[in-house]
Amino acid sequence: MSKVIVLTGASAGIGAVLAKQLAARGDALMLAARSADKLRLVARSCGREAYFFSTDVTRRQDVNRLRDEALRTFEHVDVWINNAGRGISRPVLDLTDEDFDEMMAVNVKSALYGAQAILPHFKERGEGHLINVSSFLGRVPLVTFRSAYNAAKSALNALTANLRMDLRAGYPNIHVSLVMPGAVSTEFAGNVLHGVPGTRAAGSNVQTPEEVAAAIVDLIDHPSAEIYTNPDTQLEQVKRYYADVAAFEDALGQLGDKP
């Protein structure tokens, strides 16, 4: 059965690919990002049931207007995906107030605004699915120059878990999910604050946006608390990291900080 889905960060990268995959299977979409021109192109490629609404997700009033526009257009929402995000290339000791505030606003507060906007509607219906797209770096912060990005995604992970626990008893048909991609071959790295640092080895663990989007589509069909989009690699690193953080960091340092 087709669903009505609101998707932020839909103008490029994982979001744009996900929009096309969802449209291809018949879902109705409300796409959001800051760039109306890019959104228009993505919506056009998705067909007649894809609409767009220019939104700055760091502004609560914009997110509330996005919700209102979706409800005016479709009368209900089944799935809300907080996918907007931005990275940074700056180590901890070089971070400015502006750096940290930007990372928290784009990666955490935007998702908080989305959750607080749509959850009253989900509660009224007694069902719904909120999906927060985080990062593997929020679980294992192994790339030091991502610093405040890692911290922001870690905060997002915690908020998502707390929300899920708060809703569990009273609203069993409202699902709250966390998605943790690892390295993905998109333009994300080129859009980070302070540019791109020294070249990192791509390796064989880099996923395509199509692979990550397909994992999110499957999550919509089979809700669960958390998913790693590249579990074969990511779960092994999680086990190593939490078994002995110091040993993990030592081993990573010997590799030149390349996981």
113 catalytic residue (yes or no): no
Lowest mean pLDDT among 39-43, 87-91, 132-136, 192-196: 192-196
pLDDT score recorded for residue 255: 59
DSSP secondary structure, 93-142, as one string: GG--HHHHHHHHIIIIIHHHHHHHHHHHHHHHHT-EEEEEE--GGGTS--
Asked if residue 257 has pLDDT above 80, the reply is no
Reported for 193-198, long-range contacts at CB under 8 A and 24+ positions apart, including other chains, are: 193/86, 193/87, 193/88, 193/89, 193/90, 193/99, 193/102, 193/103, 194/88, 194/89, 194/90, 194/99, 195/89, 196/89, 197/89, 197/145
Rounded to two decimals, the pTM is: 0.93
CATH 3.40.30.10 fits 4-231, yes or no: no
Domain residue limits, the chain: 4-231
Average pLDDT over residues 79-96: 96
pLDDT score recorded for residue 204: 57
Q: In angstroms, what CA-CA distances link 88 with 13, 108, 179, 186, 218?
A: 17, 14, 20, 15, 29
In the structure, what pLDDT confidence band is assigned to residue 256 with cuts at 50, 70 and 90?
low
Asked if residue 87 has pLDDT above 80, the reply is yes
**Mind listing the pLDDT tens digit for each residue in 52-69?**
999 999 999 999 999 999
Asked if residue 144 has pLDDT above 50, the reply is yes
**Mind listing the pLDDT tens digit for each residue in 179-195?**
999 999 877 666 777 77
Average pLDDT over residues 159-167: 98
pLDDT score recorded for residue 189: 61
Q: How far apart are CA 147 and CA 143, in angstroms?
A: 7
Average pLDDT over residues 242-252: 94
Average pLDDT over residues 196-204: 51
In the structure, what pLDDT confidence band is assigned to residue 202 with cuts at 50, 70 and 90?
very low
**88 token code pair:** 């940074």
Report percent pLDDT > 90 for the chain: 88
pLDDT score recorded for residue 212: 97
Q: How far apart are CA 32 and CA 35, in angstroms?
A: 9
β-pairing, 128-133 with 79-82?
Answer: parallel
Range list of H helices, 75-109: 97-104
Instruction: List the catalytic residue out of 149, 171, 228, 241.
Output: 149
Lowest mean pLDDT among 6-15, 101-110, 186-195, 225-234: 186-195
Average pLDDT, the chain: 93
Contact indicator for 85, 135 with CB cutoff of 8 Å: yes
